[in-house]
């Protein structure tokens, strides 16, 4: 008997139908020499810290880092999971051969291997690898089963990823929570979560720190065309008005007129990130929602495997393209022109070198019926139109550039005209459609008449007043792109494709990372924008180690995981590097805290020496030992620019190092906090009443005063 294990019951039913295993049993289907069973996604997970020893149940700073000698797996504690595993375990023991029918990706491979490992499988294992769930694809896949050994590196990469996330997540979360979290705050740290949050916090700080400035620009109208002065923006209205007067007394002259014909490349097919970006732009769908809709379309057999990171098709698919297009009857008006001649075989679409496990997301030959939700229909429409558009001709355009001069001031304007719409015809009926990831649908360009070099005429100069704009907040679409390129702002599709190997997270996990940040209340939505909360900002400010929050460094880890997948890097080496990093991070953080604990242990000894050495106690007093004078419940913490309550969000107490232009020493700050005032100090430079010396005091309302 051959045992097939799928990742979901619905997929198992599709496979069982093709194989003729139509007799339902408890937890599996049987027939024609096959048993077909299923998991529910993950049945197993890595063991938790307390599984390696009861001492790890409580969070103890001095038991860190937790590094198991061998990482073990266990069943997820759930009665349904345990019951289904017993079925699988029995079938594995009884079968002659196992066929791994899990999702054809890294996570799918990991899910299945852990289950087989837990079931102590010693039978031969084959791998079903398919890109769609149509009957034809399943039949073809069973005719081309491959040895499980061919996918060993895929499993090693998935396992290394899981262990890496465990090592960093468990240790760093406990480490920072115990060191900086106060009595109740859990500071959640993750290998991908933290650098993603860091990008959002950095953007938030740039927006908050941005200072809007007014500027003025010179423009003029000639033959109903607006020309812009090709000079730097003017910083004062006075300069702009002088410029306007100059323009009024000088003639306008055309000095250059040029028309260039060009082409707009077709948009690329969708990978998962591209689809999530487009759905967020057009419909406001979250990445997580789009993933659910496309997964449903895949399981309904209308599209190919969605969790992909390539925008190319394998060359072997070319003969099937015509059949898929013909099956898309609801788009027959768009498809008819394509079927009048051979489908073009462009390298921008078909390239085996750009396809690894799976090709880009495209429709299957099974068109949707009425069983789709509104959201699924919209997602399918995006995929279908993109699939059609890539086979249309390129869009031919005309770019016009005109240069002019008024006196010594240069002016220019430009216009753009579509000569032949090409692929844009696919989107012509949808005025809101944005067919590429670039923002192509800009405001309508000016219609530029034909100008002759040397012509002159009357013109109407004017001043345009504007304001500088802060950086744009991330939307889910732009954040996904930033994750894909490790924080680099890249519009060019080819360059972005090259950077994907160094992106943070994978297409299948990025949506979950963003959702985790919402659940932790580190970010929130304001309309379409993603905004870091004060909690998220404080967390990133607390983490001084760049390794934990650098998108570039996290991207390097992702590259190593991909190299493990391709056999170019050892999984154990990746694990050893992470362990070394965790050890160094723990030592650095714990050493700082250890001094505080030593102080507590030595309190009695210090007390005995108080009369003989009164200054020692003052020098040893740490901020962590000092109660907040305002709430009297939490201790104080020293940051980069101020000392404040460890429960600052609720309490709000903070004293800056720099007061009225003078930087205070630790002793002076401690005096201010403990005694309510400092000794007499000099060197104040920014006091509103120009006081240069005096005593700083804290009022009962905790307002700082300087008294002469």
Angle at 514 between CA 373 and CA 496, to 5 degrees: 90
The structure tokens listed for 608 are 């005995």
Select which of 28, 34, 151, 305 is catalytic.
Answer: 305
Give tens-digit pLDDT for 480-500.
Answer: 999 988 777 656 666 566 566
Q: Measure the CA–CA gap between 152 and 477, rounded to whole angstroms.
A: 34
CA atoms of 311 and 354, how far apart (whole Å): 8
624 pLDDT band, cuts 50/70/90, is low
Mean pLDDT of the chain: 87
13-38 average pLDDT score: 95
CATH of domain 2-161: 3.40.50.140
Identify any residues that bridge with 29 across adjacent strands, giving them in sequence order. Answer: 24, 36
Q: Is a pLDDT exceeding 50 seen at residue 598?
A: no
CA atoms lying within 13 Å on the CB side of residue 353: 4
Query: Comparing C-alpha atoms, which of 165, 211, 212 is closest to residue 190?
Result: 165
The closest of 477, 474, 400, 471 to 436, measured between CA atoms, is 477
Mean of pLDDT values over 371-389: 95
Q: What is the pLDDT of residue 486?
A: 79
Say how far apart CA 557 and CA 503 lie, in whole Å.
Answer: 9
For 164-195, write each residue's pLDDT tens digit.
999 999 999 999 998 887 666 788 999 899 99
CA end-to-end span of the chain, whole Å? Answer: 94
pLDDT for residue 413 is more than 90:
yes
Q: What is the pLDDT of residue 548?
A: 86
Structure confidence by residue, pLDDT tens digits, 499-551: 666 788 888 889 999 999 999 999 999 989 999 999 999 999 988 888 788 88
Residue with the two structure tokens 């067919």: 435
CATH for 218-257+398-425+444-465 (3.30.420.40, 3.40.50.2000, 1.20.1050.10, 2.70.20.10): 2.70.20.10
In sign, the C-alpha dihedral spanning 235, 239, 245, 246 is negative
Per residue in 584-597, pLDDT (tens digit) is 988 888 776 433 32
- Alpha-carbon Rg for the chain, nearest whole angstrom, is 32
pLDDT score recorded for residue 491: 61
Supply the pLDDT for residue 76: 94
User: What DSSP string runs through 167-194?
Assistant: HHHHHHHHHHHHHHSTTT------TTHH
251, 406 Cβ separation under 8 angstroms: yes
Question: For the segment 224-274, what is each residue's pLDDT rounded down to a tens digit?
Answer: 999 999 999 999 999 999 999 999 999 999 999 999 999 999 999 999 999
DSSP state of 401: E
305 included as an active-site residue: yes
Residue 605 CB burial class (10 angstroms; 0-12, 13-18, ≥19): exposed
What average pLDDT does range 623-651 have in this prediction? 77
**Domain ranges within the chain, ordered by starting residue:** 2-161, 188-208+473-569, 218-257+398-425+444-465, 272-389, 614-707
Kindly tell me if the per-residue pLDDT of 430 is higher than 80.
Answer: no
Pairwise CA distance, residues 446 & 679, whole Å: 70
Dist CA 473 CA 568 (whole Å): 38
Position 496 scores a pLDDT of 61
Contact criterion met (CB below 8 Å) for 213 and 466: no
Q: What is the pLDDT of residue 95?
A: 96
Instruction: Kindly report the backbone phi and psi dihedral angles of residue 484, in degrees, each rounded to the nearest multiple of 5, phi listed first.
Output: -65, -30
pLDDT for the residue 557: 84
Contact 2, 34 (CB under 8 A): yes
Superfamily of chain region 272-389: Topoisomerase I, domain 4 (1.10.290.10)
Confidence of residue 638 (pLDDT cuts 50, 70, 90): confident
CATH entry, 188-208+473-569, from 1.10.460.10, 3.20.20.80, 3.40.190.10, 1.10.3720.10? 1.10.460.10
Q: Fold match between 2-161 and 272-389?
A: no
Q: Is 94 exposed, middle or buried (0-12, 13-18, 19+ CB in 10 A)?
A: exposed
Beta carbons within 10 angstroms of residue 648's beta carbon = 20
């Amino acid at each position: 008997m051959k045992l097939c294990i799928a990742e979901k019951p619905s997929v198992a039913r599709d496979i069982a139908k093709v194989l003729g295993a139509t007799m339902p049993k408890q937890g599996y289907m049987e027939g024609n020499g096959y048993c077909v069973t299923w998991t529910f996604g993950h049945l197993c997970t890595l063991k938790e810290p307390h599984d390696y020893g009861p001492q790890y149940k409580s969070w103890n700073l001095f038991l860190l880092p937790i590094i198991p000698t061998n990482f073990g797996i266990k069943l997820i504690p759930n009665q349904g999971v345990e019951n289904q595993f017993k079925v699988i375990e029995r079938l594995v023991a009884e079968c002659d051969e196992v066929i791994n029918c899990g999702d054809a990706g890294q996570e799918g491979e990991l899910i299945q291997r852990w289950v087989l490992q837990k079931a102590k499988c010693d039978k031969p294992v084959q791998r079903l690898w398919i890109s769609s769930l149509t009957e034809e694809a399943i039949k073809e896949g069973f005719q081309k089963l491959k040895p499980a050994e061919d996918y060993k590196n895929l499993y090693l990469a998935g396992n290394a990823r899981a262990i890496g996330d465990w090592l960093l997540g468990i240790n760093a979360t406990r480490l920072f929570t115990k060191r900086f979290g106060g009595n109740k705050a859990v500071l959640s740290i993750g290998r991908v979560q933290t650098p993603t949050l860091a990008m959002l916090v950095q953007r938030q700080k740039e927006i908050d720190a941005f200072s809007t400035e007014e500027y003025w620009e010179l423009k003029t109208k000639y033959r109903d065309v607006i020309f812009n002065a090709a000079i730097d923006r003017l910083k004062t209205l006075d300069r702009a008005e002088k410029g306007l007067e100059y323009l009024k007394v000088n003639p306008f002259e055309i000095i250059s007129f040029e028309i260039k014909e060009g082409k707009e490349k077709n948009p690329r097919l969708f990978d998962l990130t591209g689809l999530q970006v487009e759905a967020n732009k057009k419909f406001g769908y979250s990445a997580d929602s789009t993933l659910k809709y496309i997964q449903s379309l895949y399981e309904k057999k209308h599209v190919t495997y969605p969790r992909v990171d390539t925008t190319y098709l394998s060359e072997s698919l070319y003969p099937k393209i015509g059949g898929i297009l013909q099956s898309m009857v609801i788009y027959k008006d768009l498809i008819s022109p394509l079927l009048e001649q051979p489908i073009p075989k462009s390298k921008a679409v078909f390239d085996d070198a750009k396809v690894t496990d799976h090709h880009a997301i495209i429709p299957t030959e099974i068109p949707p019926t009425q069983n789709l939700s509104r959201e699924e229909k919209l997602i399918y429409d995006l995929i279908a139109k993109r699939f059609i558009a890539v086979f249309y001709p390129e869009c031919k355009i005309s770019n016009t550039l005109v240069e002019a001069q008024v006196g010594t001031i240069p002016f220019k304007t430009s216009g753009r005209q579509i000569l032949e719409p090409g692929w844009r015809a696919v989107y012509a009926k949808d005025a809101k459609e944005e067919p590429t990831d670039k923002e192509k649908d800009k405001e309508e360009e000016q219609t530029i008449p034909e100008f002759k070099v040397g012509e002159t005429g009357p013109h109407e100069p004017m001043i345009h007043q504007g304001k500088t704009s802060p950086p744009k907040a991330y939307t889910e679409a732009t954040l996904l792109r930033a994750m894909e390129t490790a924080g680099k702002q890249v519009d060019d599709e080819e360059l972005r494709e090259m950077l994907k190997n160094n992106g943070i997270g994978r297409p299948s996990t990025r949506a979950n990372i963003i959702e985790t940040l919402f659940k932790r209340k580190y970010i929130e939505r304001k309309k379409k924008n993603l905004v870091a909360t004060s909690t998220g900002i404080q967390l990133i400010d607390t983490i001084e180690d760049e390794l934990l929050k650098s998108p570039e460094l996290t991207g390097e880890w992702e590259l190593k995981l991909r190299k493990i997948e391709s056999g170019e890097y050892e999984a154990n080496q990746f694990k050893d590097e992470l362990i070394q990093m965790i050890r160094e991070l723990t030592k650095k953080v714990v050493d700082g805290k250890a001094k505080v604990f030593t102080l507590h242990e030595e309190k009695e000894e210090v007390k005995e020496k108080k009369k003989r050495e009164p200054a020692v106690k003052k020098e040893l007093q740490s901020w962590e030992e000092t109660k907040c004078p305002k709430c009297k419940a939490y201790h104080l913490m020293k940051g980069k620019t101020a000392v404040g309550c460890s429960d600052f969000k609720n309490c709000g107490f903070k004293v800056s190092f720099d007061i009225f232009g003078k930087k205070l020493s630790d002793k002076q700050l401690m005096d201010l906090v403990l005694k309510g005032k400092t000794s007499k100090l000099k060197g104040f430079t920014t006091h509103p009443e120009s006081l240069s010396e005096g005593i700083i005091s804290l009022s009962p309302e905790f307002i700082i005063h300087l008294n002469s």
